[in-house]
Amino acid sequence: MFETFYPILFLFVFAVFLAVLLTVFSVILGRRTRSGKKGQSYECGVEPVGTNKEPIPVKYFLIGISFILFDIELIFLLPWAVVSRELGMFGFISIAVFIALVIIGYIYELGKGALKWE
């Protein structure tokens, strides 16, 4: 019964073995050099301003979370578009309510100033 799972088990064991082996080789063979440039945070080729110990503003995370929420909500439009003809008027009304709720959420965020970058 379990013989069908042997290839999966073998692949899992091989992947873990390979990951451990490559990590050990990296630790043993890799050079450890500390320089001033290596310790700095990288900001897309621009000289870093300040230190990397400064706190990140919460507004940055709020905008990121809002983007992810709206992006995930809009992903639900694709399955609806695929079967929209079979759903008929019920599908149209349900997606219209869904889009209205997304727009109301967007307007609410604009009203609260959550998308203003200072």
The answer to whether the beta carbons of residues 109 and 115 sit under 8 Å apart is yes
Residue pLDDT, tens place only, 9-50: 999 999 999 999 999 999 999 877 777 666 666 667 667 676
For the domain bounded by 2-112, which CATH number is listed? Answer: 1.20.58
The answer to whether the beta carbons of residues 41 and 52 sit under 8 Å apart is yes
- Sequence ranges of the domains in the chain: 2-112
Query: CA-to-CA distance for 101 and 98, rounded, in angstroms?
Result: 5
Query: CA-to-CA distance for 90 and 84, rounded, in angstroms?
Result: 9
The pTM of this model reads 0.50
